[in-house]
Amino acid sequence: MIKVDSGKCIGCMQCVKDCFPNDIQMINGKAKVNNITCIKCGHCIAVCPKGAVSTDEYNMKDVKDYNKEEFTVDADNLLNLIKFRRSVRQFTNKEVEEEKITKIIESGRFTQTGINLQDVSYIVVREGLDELKSLTFQTLSNVGKNLLDNLTPETMPFKKYGQMWIKMYEEYKKNPIENDKLFFNAPAVIIVTANSPLNGALASSNMELMTNALGLGTFFSGFFVKAAEENKKIMDLLGVKDGKKIVTCMVIGYPNVKYLRTVPRKKADICWT
């Protein structure tokens, strides 16, 4: 429940004006949250000039007062960070500290979700990586074989992936360390699951930026997501909750590669009207 401390409320109406679901009314010059249509977005907490609004459902210690120095990112620096980030596939064998993983997840937790659903979950895999890797390689190889055995005009463009997955598994079996073309010997993986893939993807994107800001490297493994879609055993091994889909798999470690510049891209496809 969202509550207003009427002793602190000055009746400025800021919370009423900013309440998108229209759940706050003024009674005798004081704001009152009805908690009926409220989506717990916290705008009323963030906008109140007197800090009069709080909730007993979330941790109020998460709330930080604004200050310019700590809350502002220069626009050009932000753009450079976005341009300079790369998919990292070469890792040192240094473990990723738990505090860093926690911070990456924090950046996902505070990412916006549709109707403030907050439906994104995280599975951190470290010790169980070898078992997960082996099952994933095997699954992709089977998917590849199945694809090649049943090629149709529609699946023809994916033939090269079928061939690639079979080869990847064969080489992995020969030398799992040298030929790990799935997780590239990274020490950690975070699997992002959500009811809404869009919410999970938005969270993942912020998590990727945070990973880079922490001096770590990552890439999204679409191959892993494909394998998990094809083999329920992977979902069971990870304990993915009912109703949740695996949205992304972030392979994380300390980079063993240094990029010296940004890369070129296609021109933006924009329609100004």
Q: Does 222 bind ligand FMN (CB under 6 A)?
A: yes
For the bound state, the minimum distance from the C-beta of residue 199 to ligand FMN, rounded and expressed in Å, comes to: 15
Which range touches ligand FMN (CB under 6 A), out of 94-102, 124-132, 148-156, 213-221?
A: 213-221
Burial of 260 (0-12, 13-18, 19+ CB in 10 A): exposed
| Least Cβ distance, residue 187 to ligand FMN (angstroms) | 17
Taking CA atoms, 89 is separated from 81, 180, 183, 256, in Å, by 18, 10, 8, 8
**Which residue carries 């169980």 as its tokens?**
128
Binding window for ligand FMN (CB under 6 A); candidates: 47-55, 74-82, 83-91, 98-106:
83-91
Q: Is there binding between residue 145 and ligand FMN (CB under 6 A)?
A: no
Q: Distance between alpha carbon 63 and the CA centroid of its chain, in Å?
A: 21
Please state, in angstroms and rounded to a whole number, the distance separating the CA atoms of residues 31 and 7: 11
Stretch that binds ligand FMN, among 91-99, 109-117, 148-156, 215-223 (CB under 6 A): 215-223
Q: Is 172 in the site for ligand FMN (CB under 6 A)?
A: no
Q: How far is the CB of 89 from ligand FMN (least distance, A)?
A: 6
Q: Which is nearer to ligand FMN, 113 or 221 (CB)?
A: 221
Going by C-alpha positions, the residue among 47, 37, 67 that lies closest to residue 4 is 47
Interface with ligand FMN includes 219 (CB under 6 A)? yes
Our CB check for ligand FMN shows the closer of 14 and 139 to be 139
Q: Which residues contact 250 (CB under 8 A, 6 or more apart)?
A: 104, 189, 190, 191, 192, 204, 207, 208, 211, 218, 219, 220, 221
Of 221, 228, 250, 253, the residue at the interface with ligand FMN (CB under 6 A) is 221
Q: What are the residues binding ligand FMN (CB under 6 A)? A: 86-87, 89, 219-223
